[in-house]
A and B are shown apart, each in its own frame.
Chain A
Amino acid sequence: MTTEEKKAPKKKGPIRWEAIIPVTIICAGAYAYFAWFFDQHLKKAIEYVGTQANGAEVNVASVKTSFLRGSFDLNGLQVTDKDMPAQNILSLDNVHFQYMWDALLRMKFVVDDASINQIQVASKRSRPGFVLPPEPAKPSKLDGLQKEVLDQVKKEYSQNMLGDLIGLLEGADPKDQLEKIREELKSEKRVKEMIADVTTKQKVWEGEVKRLSDTTKLKAIEGQVQSIKAEKNVLKQLAGAKELNDLLKDVQKQAKEIQGAGKKLEGEIRTVSAYPNEVQALVKDDIASLKNRFKIPELDVKDMAMALFAKEFGDYIAKARKYQALAKQYLPEKKEREEVLPPPREIGKTYEFPITKSYPLFWLKRAAISSTGTPGSYSGNVSGELTNVTTSPKWVKKPIVLDLKGDFPASEMYGVQAKVTADFTGAVARQGLDLKITTFAIPGRMFSESDKLKFGLKKATGSTKLTAALQDGEMEMSWNAQISKPDWLVEAKSNLAQELLSGIVGGIPLIYVNGNVSGPWKALNMSITSNLGDELANGMKAQVSKKIAEAEGKLQALVDEKIKGPQAELLGQLKGNGDFLSQIKNADQLYKANEDKIKTEIANLQKGGGKGKGGLEEQGKKLLKKFKF
């Protein structure tokens, strides 16, 4: 084989023409994918992600994207309500986004104009959507935040304040209940303990006093002293003096024991003497806790309005807290200036030049929202717009605003105007809400629902205005509502209460409610005023105040009755303790007297007392002389 046999290769030009076919095939494949399959895959992806996020089936009729036009269309979005799978929690007919090419060429997504059409809530589905198996319940952070607000509100109102007042008007006698809970009276329990303590101590001291006041020993000593004193024999007198000294020591020991016992008894008497004061304090505590238990309220006009409307206002505040937390999660407040960290050497330094024409990463300039109400759903005739949703609010320098106006005939709600503002353009974020509803139907609202009293609105017409602002962790909300054409429900067991309440509400054609709340989320300062509260409070004040005083007096009498007997017993026993002390003191004095007597006799004997003449020494000398020494 020689080189001549090898064919001379054909000379090829500088362009790789043979690569054109593969490149064309790749480009055609990419085009075909985006033209025929991409939208379908995107639709499946939206459905899958939406279903996982919602926990129930999410359907999309179609998705249409156009690379050349820079547009995105989503049609027929249906989000199944996981609690009621036969209906949608939300459905949209069409969402249209038109991206700006100028921004896309900079890898930015700017939507100049968008539209969201035919929003429906609670619309029926053609078939029930499937629901994903529930995940193990986890405490939701949002629920926790709402609970924090509601707990604060709960402190401010009592659901059954009105029922308690009516109970008082009926003259409810707490005697039966007091019988049932008498064991729980702290004062009574303590008095029993005190009596038991004093009784035990009395028994102990009875024995002790008896032992210490025993005079047998004293009499024996006295007899001994007398016999020694009567002795004429010197030697026997000498032995008697020694015996007296021993007796003295014995008496002194006994007297010391009596003194010690006396001091101990005095201390115990002092402790026991404080028992009556302690009992009085416990009685006061018991009366206070019983007043609380029987819900004897301090009647206040403000309290009444708060008790009636705090729940409604609390719900609004809790909702505001929830949406504020959600907004914070999805629109995080950015720092005024991002902290600049020096880049590593190999990354180099990136220079920023003045921006003369640029866009934030995402900017939805305006989205028109429209919806027409349909029968069988809660959708309304709504129109509005959402503007300036962006990832860089400080650059855009415009707040996010959702402005909606409309009517919801299915819910009998007309003249709804809502403006939600989220302003992240400044150093401190500010979020606001202005909501106004000209007319809405109040289906029914019970202010009190107990066996004794059913009091509330069967139906009424309302109008409301709610303004809320949150800035720097401090919230401020005001709520003004008017309830007109009230149809009252008053059912009280007591004729007095029935007449009283019917009379009061009959003269209130229009109810005003004004609420204000301000301060940080953890310590909200809330106030509510209402003419309904004023009227009810004023109407009931005289009657209720009288009943309150009566109820307090009854409680005091009941407590006194329960305590009186044991307390008297205790005081009697304490008096007995004083007798013990005097007996001990008498014994002490007796011993002291004997001690003195013995000391005197010893001194007399030493000086030559007794029946013999002269002292012992002198008598001894005389005796020696007799024996001629």
Chain B
Amino acid sequence: MTLLLKQLFGFFKLLHSETGNNQLAWGVALGFILGMTPALSLQSLLVFFCLFFFRVQIGAAFLAAFFFKFIAFLLDPAFDAVGQWALELPALQGLFTDLYNMPIVPFTRFNNSIVMGSGIVAIILLPFVLAGSKWAIIKYRVTVVERFRETKLFKVWTKTSLYAWYYKYDTYFGN
């Protein structure tokens, strides 16, 4: 829980810093895949492995997964239709039969229409989500964060002893 909260605080801190655009954007993109996948499966574990192995913003991924889970729930009928279409494609029957009889692969539950549909949609939309989130982060920093820093309230806040104490703490103990 502490780790999760730390990651979430890290996400907001990073969002308001000037660096880490790619970390945040990849976090959102991987969170998008996690959110789209209906249940725990092999591909979810793969995404988790990526989150922990690569320097991706985990807080961003969890927030994005939480958000996209709701959207995915609404889109389940569409995923079901896409999945059925793909799984019934005659040209791919041989491939699916081979995959179905391979070890490990069936754990992905690829033969389920919603898993297949959401997987296809997630893979197709992944580059767009990545590019879109990167663009949105930059835009947010330029417009929202900069404007906020120019406000009198923020300037007063930066002059307080509490802010000074936090700044010092963050310098020595922050990541």
Contact = CB atoms under 8 A, between A and B. Distances in A.
B114 A347 contact: yes
Interface residues of B, number: 34
A25 interface: no
A350 B104 CA distance: 17
B168 A345 contact: no
A16 to B, nearest CB: 5
A6 B101 CA distance: 58
Counting contact residues on chain A (CB < 8 A from B), the size range is: 20 to 34
A12 B57 CA distance: 13
B93 interface: yes
A356 B100 CA distance: 9
A19 B87 CA distance: 39
Contacts, number: 75
A106 B103 contact: yes
Nearest to B99: A353
B167 A19 contact: no
A611 B88 CA distance: 137
A105 interface: yes
B53 A354 contact: no
Interface in B91-117: 93, 96-97, 100-101, 103-104, 106-107, 109, 111-115, 117
B101 A355 contact: yes
Contacts of A349: 80, 83-84, 112-113
B111 A6 contact: no
Given A106-B103, A351-B87, A356 B97 contact: yes
Interface in B23-65: 38, 52-55
A549 interface: no
B127 interface: no
Contact of B55 (A16, A347, A353, A358): A16
A102 B103 contact: yes
A106 B97 CA distance: 15
Given A106-B103, A348-B112, A353 B97 contact: yes
23 contacts: A1-B164, A14-B55, A15-B55, A16-B53, A19-B52, A19-B53, A23-B52, A102-B103, A105-B104, A345-B80, A346-B73, A348-B76, A348-B80, A348-B83, A348-B112, A349-B83, A349-B113, A350-B109, A351-B96, A352-B111, A353-B93, A353-B101, A356-B97
Interface of B: 38, 52-55, 73, 76-77, 79-80, 83-84, 87-88, 93, 96-97, 100-101, 103-104, 106-107, 109, 111-115, 117, 164, 167-168, 171
Given A14-B55, A348-B83, 8 more contacts: A7-B171, A347-B112, A348-B38, A352-B111, A353-B96, A354-B100, A356-B97, A356-B101
Interface of A: 1, 6-7, 12-16, 19, 23, 102, 105-107, 345-358
